[in-house]
Amino acid sequence: MKYLMLLLGFVLTSSVMYAQDAKAQGILDKLSAKIKAQKSFYVEFSANITNTSSGKNETFTGKGWVKGDKFYASYGENTIISNGAKTWNVVKEEKTVYETSASDDDSESMNPKKLLTIWESGFKNKYEKEEKLGDEMVHVIYLHPKNPKTADYHTIILYIGKSDNELKKAIMKSNDGTKMTYSMTKFTSNPTIEDSKFTFDIKKYPGYEVVKD
């Protein structure tokens, strides 16, 4: 969960104080606007996490439902549920549910909406090139931290569809040698999602312990 908890924690900031690549910034601004215009959305992705030093090589899939400030996300065998006020982190391996305030930084960083706006805080961007990814052309944009000494990642590479301006793939390289590759496999705009999806029900997790922060 460590790397998953690091994955998504990003708040919109201005690029005025930092020199940004104009072409890259224009593409990213359009993508941010597109995501934030959604009243709700559903996303699926596959992921691979490797570290040559430790021999780590894990592959898993994830799904996320978002409606306003509420979200439900599953990553491998773990589930995150947030109703906008509280967040429940369900860890299957431990049979434990960690309940926190939705304003907690770690919990907020699991919001799928922020997976799709990863570039918005703490990074300088650079347009690299166009290339083919699968059957479509994509823009390749590099992100590097504004403050490398305090950043979790030294490089993030984004692949954004040229025709639909959607995030297709993200490669995140952390300072401990871990490489995380996330590939978006499905995105559905404005699906109907009942609010009950974002409410934690302990009856669905018999034998689990709830730990409140």
Strands 209-212 and 96-101: parallel
Please, is 80 exposed, middle or buried when counting C-beta atoms within 10 Å of its C-beta (0-12, 13-18, 19+)? buried
Cα distance between residue 206 and residue 94, in whole Å:
13
Which pLDDT does position 4 carry in this prediction?
Answer: 45
Please, is 165 exposed, middle or buried when counting C-beta atoms within 10 Å of its C-beta (0-12, 13-18, 19+)? middle
Question: Is the whole model's pTM more than 0.95, yes or no?
Answer: no
**117 phi/psi in degrees, rounded to 5:** -135, 40
Superfamily of domain 2-10+24-212: Lipoprotein localisation LolA/LolB/LppX (2.50.20.10)
Q: What is the pLDDT along the chain (213 residues), one digit of tens a residue?
A: 444 444 433 322 333 333 458 899 999 999 888 888 889 999 998 989 999 889 899 998 989 999 988 999 998 788 999 998 999 999 999 999 999 988 764 444 456 666 667 777 778 999 999 999 999 999 999 999 888 887 778 999 999 999 999 899 999 898 889 999 989 999 999 999 999 999 999 999 999 999 998
Cα distance between residue 46 and residue 177, in whole Å:
20
Q: Which residues pair with 56 in a beta bridge?
A: 51
Which pLDDT does position 98 carry in this prediction?
Answer: 94
Which pLDDT does position 111 carry in this prediction?
Answer: 62
Which pLDDT does position 20 carry in this prediction?
Answer: 54
Kindly report the three-state secondary structure assignment for every residue of the chain.
Answer: CHHHHHHCCCCCCCCCCCCCCHHHHHHHHHHHHHHHCCCEEEEEEEEEEEECCCCEEEEEEEEEEEECCEEEEEECCEEEEECCCEEEEEECCCCEEEEEECCCHHHHCCCHHHHCCHHHCCEEEEEEEEEEECCEEEEEEEEEECCCCCCCEEEEEEEEECCCCCEEEEEEEECCCCEEEEEEEEEEECCCCCHHHHCCCHHHCCCCEEEEC
Cα distance between residue 87 and residue 72, in whole Å:
9
